[in-house]
């Protein structure tokens, strides 16, 4: 719809421009051979077209300013699996604004999911701004979502937005957490807020460690490896392979640019799918850092909601935008999407995770995100 409207504006403006240009050579000779009233009439015509052109340009600008601060993707006709996923981004370091649209396209185009991607938006500029922690428009879509994929870091959202996340988890719906989702929220400004229990520093009884610990299974601990100097080699848990865990279908080779995160403990109902071994240097051929222990980097579990309902959880502490250049990491998340919504029997032996369009992720690091981008730029 947006493309059609913008196309019509462009055609209208082009039409006016061409007709205005046409009038100039046709009437330029009138300066010497026609009376003053004819010249004035010519100028009136030119002014009329110019004003109309300015009006349409103004309307186009106003429309552009009202573009939705989120993006939707639909599966090809006749290929919907009936499930709807909302992907929630907003982190300063690992470029979820780049990775989530890419995943959303694959999930829609290749696997039949309807998807919506949400972003951290600066309300003054309307640009994507991961450094702005207090605004992620569109969280109301969670009310109809079958799955939430979250990749936020240290968010402190207003109540009218956070209530949608809270209601989602009270309902016991499933979630996939990527990388910094273990410390997705941080209530530093309002430590007594009703939703401060979601913050990673929460000490509320029953919510110690916040969203990360209570829902995903672990909070932020530390950088177990050297950031920017070591990568992560995913070591597949052979016990889960022997148990034919469908999330591991087609998974054989995972290496990521980001380092291993530390883990203190996981709940007793957790199943570790992958262990992370640090690698020397940021290269897939780097030797393992054998003197350092391995850590869980991907696991599943169920959480129990406040309403008494349980929800499926898949978490990986891998997941920077550049990490998803690795095909099997994309496959792992796609397989997990099937599993979390109860479609594990539909997981292919080797899921198609080919990119839809170009994918050129930015290297991770604070402050390095692409400035001046709007959600539509990632369509």
Assess if residue 170 is contained within a domain.
yes
> Quick one: 198 and 146 in the same domain?
yes
- pLDDT band at 41; cut points 50, 70, 90: low
**Residue 357 φ/ψ, nearest 5 degrees:** 85, -170
Assess if residue 361 is contained within a domain.
no
Mean pLDDT of all residues belonging to the chain:
87
> Quick one: 42 and 74 in the same domain?
no
Q: Tell me: pLDDT of 60 over 70.
A: no
Task: Provide the 8-state DSSP code for 214.
Answer: I
What's the CA gap between 134 and 157, in Å, rounded? 4
Q: pTM score, two decimals?
A: 0.83
> Quick one: 87 and 11 in the same domain?
no
> Quick one: 46 and 172 in the same domain?
no
What's the CA gap between 56 and 62, in Å, rounded? 10
Residue 250: name the closest of 186, 155, 326 by CA. Answer: 326
> Quick one: 241 and 168 in the same domain?
yes
Instruction: Kindly report, residue by residue over 251-280, the tens digit of the pLDDT.
Output: 999 999 999 999 999 999 999 999 999 999
Task: Name the 3-class secondary structure at 177.
Answer: strand
> Quick one: 50 and 76 in the same domain?
no
Residue 182 has a pLDDT of 97
Residue 42 has a pLDDT of 53
> Quick one: 314 and 166 in the same domain?
yes
Helix, strand, coil tally for the chain in percent (to 5)? 35, 20, 45
- pLDDT band at 227; cut points 50, 70, 90: confident
Assess if residue 328 is contained within a domain.
yes
**Is the CB of residue 96 less than 8 Å from the CB of residue 181?**
no
Side-chain half-sphere of 19: how many Cα atoms within 13 Å? 14
Q: Within the chain, how many helices (H) and strands (E) appear?
A: 8, 10
| Strand blocks (E) in 262-353 | 271-280, 295-304, 310-316
What's the CA gap between 219 and 199, in Å, rounded? 10
What's the CA gap between 205 and 197, in Å, rounded? 9
What's the CA gap between 268 and 353, in Å, rounded? 32
Residue 223: name the closest of 259, 257, 192, 251 by CA. Answer: 259
> Quick one: 287 and 342 in the same domain?
yes
> Quick one: 80 and 48 in the same domain?
no
Q: Which CATH number do you get for residue 326?
A: 3.40.50.880
> Quick one: 57 and 84 in the same domain?
no
**CA separation, residue 166 to residues 14, 49, 68, 197, 215 (Å):** 49, 54, 23, 10, 12
| Strand blocks (E) in the chain | 70-73, 84-90, 114-118, 147-152, 175-178, 230-236, 255-256, 271-280, 295-304, 310-316
Decide which of 65 and 13 is more confident: 65
Assess if residue 198 is contained within a domain.
yes
What's the CA gap between 295 and 136, in Å, rounded? 31
Domain boundary among 65, 82, 112: 65
Assess if residue 164 is contained within a domain.
yes
Assess if residue 351 is contained within a domain.
no
Question: Rounded to 5 degrees, what angle do the CA atoms 263, 268, 270 make?
Answer: 65
> Quick one: 39 and 123 in the same domain?
no
> Quick one: 236 and 164 in the same domain?
yes
Q: Tell me: pLDDT of 11 over 90.
A: no
Domain of residue 38: give its range.
Answer: 2-65
Question: What domain count does the chain have?
Answer: 2
């Amino acid at each position: 719809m947006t493309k059609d409207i913008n196309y019509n504006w462009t055609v209208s403006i082009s039409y006016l421009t061409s007709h205005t240009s046409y009038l100039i050579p046709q009437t330029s000779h009138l300066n010497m051979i026609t009376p003053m009233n004819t010249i004035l009439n010519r100028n009136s015509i030119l002014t009329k077209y110019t004003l109309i052109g300015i009006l349409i340009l103004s309307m186009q600008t106003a429309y552009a300013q009202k573009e939705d601060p989120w993006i939707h993707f639909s599966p090809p006709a006749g290929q919907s699996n009936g499930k709807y996923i909302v992907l929630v981004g907003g982190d300063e370091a690992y470029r979820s604004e780049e990775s989530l649209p890419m995943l959303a396209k694959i999930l829609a185009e290749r696997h039949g999911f309807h998807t919506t991607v949400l972003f951290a938006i600066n309300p003054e500029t309307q640009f994507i701004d991961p450094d702005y922690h207090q605004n992620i428009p569109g969280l109301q879509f969670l009310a109809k979502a079958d799955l939430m994929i979250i990749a936020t870091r240290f968010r402190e959202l207003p109540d009218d937005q956070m209530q949608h996340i809270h209601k989602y988890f009270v309902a016991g719906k499933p979630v996939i957490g990527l990388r910094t989702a273990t410390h997705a929220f941080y209530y530093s400004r309002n430590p007594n807020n009703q939703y401060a229990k979601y913050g990673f520093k929460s000490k509320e009884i029953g919510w110690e460690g916040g969203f990360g610990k209570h829902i995903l299974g672990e909070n932020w601990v530390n950088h177990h490896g050297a950031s920017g100097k070591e990568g992560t080699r995913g070591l597949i848990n052979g016990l889960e392979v022997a148990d034919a865990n469908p999330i591991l279908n087609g998974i054989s080779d995972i290496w990521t640019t980001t380092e291993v995160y530390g883990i203190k403990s996981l709940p007793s109902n957790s199943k570790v799918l992958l262990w992370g071994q640090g690698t020397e240097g940021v290269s897939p051929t780097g030797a393992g850092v054998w003197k350092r222990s391995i850590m869980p980097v991907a696991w599943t579990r169920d959480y129990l909601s406040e309403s008494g309902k349980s929800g499926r959880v898949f978490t990986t502490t891998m997941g920077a935008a550049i990490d998803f250049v690795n095909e099997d990491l994309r496959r792992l998340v796609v397989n997990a999407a099937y599993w979390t919504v109860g479609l594990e029997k539909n997981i292919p032996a080797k899921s198609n995770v080919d990119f839809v369009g170009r994918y050129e992720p930015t290297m991770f690091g604070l402050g390095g995100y692409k400035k001046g981008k709007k959600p539509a730029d990632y369509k």
